[in-house]
Amino acid sequence: MRLEQFDKLQKLVSRLEERTMYLRQQNFRLIQENSRLKQELEERAEGGISPQYEQQLKKLVAENRKLKETNKQANAKLSVLIDQVEQALAEKNGVGKKVEA
């Protein structure tokens, strides 16, 4: 493997790791937001809220769940990509054996 190819792969791994970190942070924020919305919904339900407000809040909670799931799937895909790139680097450098996923 040429040095420039190795550098490109290293940069790719770094970018993938950065993106994964960003998605994990987003996922954490979404979890916090979902908890806050659930708590607010429970508090409002105890105090009596308008049906329109409750419907809107439930819609936000559902949207938050969808975003969380999308984020989770993206994290999983990025993890697989990082593993594949790292495995390719190891193979090119003669370290380790090819692992089939």
Residues 36-78 pLDDT 10s? 888 887 777 777 667 787 788 788 888 888 888 888 888 888 8
At 81, which helix (H) or strand (E)?
helix 51-92
pLDDT reported for residue 98: 53
pLDDT reported for residue 1: 58
The number of domains in the chain is: 1
Q: Which of 52, 60, 71, 73 is nearest to 34 (CA)?
A: 60
Please check whether residue 54 lies inside any domain of the structure: yes
Rounded distance between C-alpha atoms, residue 24 and residue 10, angstroms? 21
Residues 6+ apart with CB under 8 A from 6: 89, 92, 93
Question: For residue 16, what pLDDT band results from cuts at 50, 70 and 90?
Answer: confident
Contact assessment for residue 93 and residue 9, using Cβ atoms and an 8 Å cutoff: no
Please check whether residue 99 lies inside any domain of the structure: no
Please check whether residue 101 lies inside any domain of the structure: no
Residue 75 belongs to domain spanning: 3-92
